[in-house]
Structure 1
Amino acid sequence: MISYITTAIPYVNARPHLGHGLELVQTDVLARHRRLRGYQVSFLTGTDDNAAKNVSAAAAAGVEVADFVATNGDAFIRLAERLGSSHDDVIRTGTDPRHRPAVTKLWQAISADLYRRDYTGGYCAGCEQFYRVEDLVDGLCPEHRIAPHQVTEQNWFFALSRYQQRIEELITSNTVSVQPAHRRAEVLSFVRSGLADFSVSRPSSRSAGWGVPVPGDESQTVYVWADALINYISAAGYGVDQDRYRSRWCAADERLHVIGKGISRFHAVYWLGLLLAAGEPLPTRISIHEYLQTGGRKISKSGSPRPSDPAIVSDPDDLLTRYGRDAVRWWLVSDVTPVGDTDFSEERLKSRYTEDLANTVGNLINRTVALAQRGLGGEVRIGPPDAVARPVPPGLQRAADLAAALPERIDVALDDFNHRQATARIIEVAAAANAAIEATRPWQHVRPAVDGDPVAREQLRTILAALLQVCRRVAVELTAFVPDGAARLLGVLGDPVAATETLRLGPAEPAFPRLAPTSDRVPSSGR
């Protein structure tokens, strides 16, 4: 199986916030999980450099646009690296030599569906989007909660209305799977309400010439959303390296975009229309995550344009420095809900890490390995003994059964774009194994085993062999979610591939150390 997986590319008008970390980590989990299952994975992330709001932000900061975009773009890529993202490609639309030729090629490919006309409408600079009156909430942009300003200009338009029926059929048939279900229903409702043609260019004067010029019309710049969406195929080689493009995008069994709910229409409607017009393969899946908030207010890069209602800014670099990669990644996948926004607090982050990883998983591994070190010298034969194998004690059966079913249960959860359920499955197995230790009481066999009692030694080996198989399964499945901690676990448990007969265990050291006590800091508000 070939999988091509992408994050959305964020505007770089300010530094990244924790919500960008959410998308990076959730996408990284999907990429790592697929590699674990033997997929050939390409994982793309990047930055949207060509937005007019980047130009405005640079002007407000008194910095040249190119320097401003480069500095903030670097911050996004550093965040991906600090979070342990396993991406193998980065696209930066302002400077990557692959991008502009792809935009030009696609523009030419859809030229039969392009026309020029005057337009007047309400425009939200925050979204870089025109809004219909019926799409506003109390006259305000539903995303930024400000009134769009009226704009009259002449632009190039794409005839999206021609593709309404085909887009609806693609989504209803799940040829393009939009998930979760409530977001799919939302997109279908928008499509069925009637698709209007949309502007795919802006006057170059509005963006001070920043961006990709419209081919054959230097007075216009390609609209940032038409430009930005093309990154998914420009990185694959479209318009520059057709062999690479065919092998990465066209030949992929899965073309998966992970995006935030605020840009679902661009991906699940406009992007499909552009690709249909160009005759190119479509994404097979669009997975949509919710937002993070604090105190009921959305976390943002730069605060709300309404001073009376400041948005919340949360610095992921600060969280990573104080709590570490495992704790931040684990919260983003284990506590964030797939339906409805999730309220972030440092107390929740610390609690989830401590309860799940330090206490449940860490305690299981430490207890099991310590017993093996004390009673069996750190070497446990996990294959059947030379004589007739003793049955696994009844107290271990539930944990063993749950561990055997764990890979498939995680597959199902992640196929449903439910990271929270996937992590809960892992913790359920670890909790069952901890309960099995209490039920089977292996410590009572340690002293007799050390004193040379062969029956006690075999009883201890049988229990610990079953427990270690469960521990190994938990550790392997954790590699997609917390790769650093999982690697430490596997280092203690021995090579999960080579050790088919005997495990030589490392020292029982905490793979998930307890977090140092620290006061709960409330993320700063405003800009």
Structure 2
Amino acid sequence: MSEKSFFVTTPIYYVNDVPHIGHSYTTIAADVLARYHKLCGRDVFFLTGTDEHGVKIQQSAGKVGMSPKELCDGVAEKFKDAWRCLNIEYDNFIRTTDSHHEEAVKQVLQTLYDKGYIYKGKYEALYCVGCEQFKMKSDLVDGKCPDHKIEPEERSEECYLFKLSAFQDELYKQIKSDKFKILPLERKNEVLSFIENEGLQDISISRDKTQVYWGIPLPFDPSHTTYVWVDAFLNYLTGLGWPQDKDNFMKFWPPTVQLMAKDISRVHATIWVSILMALEIELPQMYFIHGYFTVNGQKMSKSLKNVIDPVALSEKYGADVIRYFILSEFPFGTDGNFSIKRLEEAYNSDLANDFGNLIHRTIPMIDKYCGGVTPTPKGEILVDEELKKVAEDVVGVLEELFGELKFREVLAEIWKIIKRANKYIDESAPWTLFKEGDNERLNTVMYNILESVRIVTILVYPFMPETSQKIWGQLGVTESLNSQNIPRDVVWGGLKPGTKIKKETPLFPRIELNKKG
């Protein structure tokens, strides 16, 4: 992997139902990371997609009178539509029904079989159809899957197994030492505790084709199809074009960060990593396990029918509002309750009152007091030192905060500039300077305000790309916002005097609060 490369993945989403805000949470976070690292001048690859095999798809298709592939095609497009609505810019959307992926899965299975890591046997365990995962008794609450509220089935069947147990000691050492890093810390400790207390048992990686026909056949025994998780995990390799596209693989592998919710963290941290060890492929640098959105205290789940539609939300409030809210409302890595009431309160306080107000005050004043162009400041009073220092301090902490995926804290830092700029307007009172005819001071003050707007526009771009593009246009900057470089372009004084400013309608008009939660 190149030192200047950044590779981020989301899980691939299961297509037995339509996308919801939980999927959006992970994908928006990945998009923000990708955009930020592009602004830092890095080569970025952002991978997402859909998981399209398995018994749940087979059953869902049968219920609606469709073939599994027809169902997959339709739902995959719904995910793509949702990501378009939320302004997600991925580099590849992998589908596990893509022919090159299926062929790569067969190659991997044959390799693992030839190496002796796959063998035929019998597997007896508790199986949750909702999760498509085998469960330990310790996973259950009152005998039921805590996520799907159903009792798992007792299964005993002939199948092929993967020697997961062979990797237990090495996996434990890799996680314990942070050579394979899992964040937040409590998630790392959960995986270590599971290995210590339960141990890694060999796992089933196949089903009889008469039971699950919608899957990739095992190359060494076509009467069995591949267990859906083994198939799905390999997307992180095939999404880079592996094994054919060696250049792209060498450029970006291993993943810098893999994002996922905590319900799938254990299988990722054990099965997926062990497969990589068996293939002698370098492990991901970091997993980051985020929390759930809850509704009325329950995990948001397609199975529980309490999902929130991200497309409908973005159509009503705008994509940038949704992107801002779900990453600012609670720390990434913890659970939080989703509420339309809180979304609207954050919209009015943070976006309309703070950010929108800064723009809505600044651009009309430039139009009224400076003839609609960026003024030339007086040299010795070019910079308001406090405003400049706030901006420089914020820029100084962003790399560390983004590295720790502290999105909420990043936004809080950016808002320090916004709030200081609004305060600076009140303190310097450009309207008074205009009345008094103090043009030198007026021009300097207005330049300082505009420059703070320029810096905020660059910094907030990963979170609110559409809003940033609109402000960029109002500032009259001709260079693409995508081409800006955070270390280089946030230095104070980047605006060119004489640039024509464009007055537009307010970005975030206040809304009447929804009195319901």
Check whether TM > 0.5.
yes
Between the aligned partners of 2:173 and 2:125, the Cα distance in structure 1 is 29
Deviation at 1:503, TM superposition (A): 5.2
2:242 equivalent to 1:238: yes
Between the aligned partners of 1:478 and 1:163, the Cα distance in structure 2 is 43
Between the aligned partners of 1:279 and 1:494, the Cα distance in structure 2 is 52
Deviation at 1:469, TM superposition (A): 1.9
Between the aligned partners of 1:272 and 1:2, the Cα distance in structure 2 is 21
Structure-2 residue corresponding to 1:525: none
> Equivalent residues in 2 for 1:2-401 (5 A)?
2-94=5-97, 96-111=98-113, 112-193=116-197, 194-207=199-212, 209-249=213-253, 254-301=255-302, 303-304=303-304, 311-381=305-375, 385=378, 389-390=380-381, 392=383, 396-401=384-389
Between the aligned partners of 2:430 and 2:495, the Cα distance in structure 1 is 22
Structure-2 residue corresponding to 1:501: 496
Between the aligned partners of 2:127 and 2:221, the Cα distance in structure 1 is 23
Letter in 2 for 1:185: N
C-alpha contact 1:101 1:239 (8 A) present in aligned 2: no
Between the aligned partners of 2:510 and 2:229, the Cα distance in structure 1 is 42
Structure-1 residue corresponding to 2:507: 512
Match of 1:167, SS? helix
Structure-2 residue corresponding to 1:414: 402
Deviation at 1:104, TM superposition (A): 1.5
C-alpha contact 2:344 2:514 (8 A) present in aligned 1: no
Match of 1:119, SS? strand
**Relative to 1, partners in 2 of residues 1:266 and 1:492: Cα closer, same or farther, differing over 3 Å?**
same
Match of 2:84, SS? helix
Q: Percent identity?
A: 33
RMSD (Å) for aligned C-alpha atoms: 2.1
Match of 1:90, SS? strand
Question: Which has the larger displacement, 497-506 or 424-433?
Answer: 497-506
Deviation at 1:71, TM superposition (A): 1.1
Between the aligned partners of 1:130 and 1:3, the Cα distance in structure 2 is 33
Question: Which has the larger displacement, 153-162 or 79-88?
Answer: 153-162
Match of 1:121, SS? strand
Deviation at 1:337, TM superposition (A): 3.0
Deviation at 1:391, TM superposition (A): 6.4
C-alpha contact 1:492 1:508 (8 A) present in aligned 2: yes
Q: TM-score, normalised by structure 2?
A: 0.91
2:396 equivalent to 1:402: no
Gaps of 5+ in 2: none
**Relative to 1, partners in 2 of residues 1:281 and 1:144: Cα closer, same or farther, differing over 3 Å?**
same
Match of 1:327, SS? helix
Structure-2 residue corresponding to 1:431: 419
**Relative to 1, partners in 2 of residues 1:433 and 1:516: Cα closer, same or farther, differing over 3 Å?**
closer
Match of 1:87, SS? coil
1:209-249 per-residue CA deviation (whole Å, 9 max, x = no partner) reads 11111111112111100000000101112233333333332
C-alpha contact 1:180 1:416 (8 A) present in aligned 2: no
Between the aligned partners of 1:432 and 1:12, the Cα distance in structure 2 is 46
2:440 equivalent to 1:458: yes
Structure-1 residue corresponding to 2:460: 478
1:498-517 per-residue CA deviation (whole Å, 9 max, x = no partner) reads 96531524234345232554
Between the aligned partners of 1:361 and 1:442, the Cα distance in structure 2 is 19
Question: Which has the larger displacement, 33-42 or 165-174?
Answer: 165-174
C-alpha contact 2:7 2:252 (8 A) present in aligned 1: yes
Q: TM-score, normalised by structure 1?
A: 0.89
Question: Which has the larger displacement, 54-63 or 10-19?
Answer: 54-63
Letter in 1 for 2:507: F
Between the aligned partners of 1:61 and 1:23, the Cα distance in structure 2 is 29
C-alpha contact 1:290 1:341 (8 A) present in aligned 2: yes
Match of 1:116, SS? strand
Deviation at 1:79, TM superposition (A): 0.6
**Relative to 1, partners in 2 of residues 1:520 and 1:226: Cα closer, same or farther, differing over 3 Å?**
farther
Deviation at 1:414, TM superposition (A): 2.1
Between the aligned partners of 1:503 and 1:147, the Cα distance in structure 2 is 70
C-alpha contact 1:98 1:240 (8 A) present in aligned 2: no
Structure-2 residue corresponding to 1:453: none
Gaps of 5+ in 1: 305-310, 450-455, 523-527
Match of 2:193, SS? helix
Letter in 2 for 1:507: K
Between the aligned partners of 1:244 and 1:256, the Cα distance in structure 2 is 17
Between the aligned partners of 2:55 and 2:221, the Cα distance in structure 1 is 18
Deviation at 1:378, TM superposition (A): 2.6
Q: Which runs of 4+ in 1 moved over 6 A?
A: none
Between the aligned partners of 1:414 and 1:467, the Cα distance in structure 2 is 26
Between the aligned partners of 2:12 and 2:432, the Cα distance in structure 1 is 57
Letter in 1 for 2:6: S
**Relative to 1, partners in 2 of residues 1:220 and 1:423: Cα closer, same or farther, differing over 3 Å?**
same
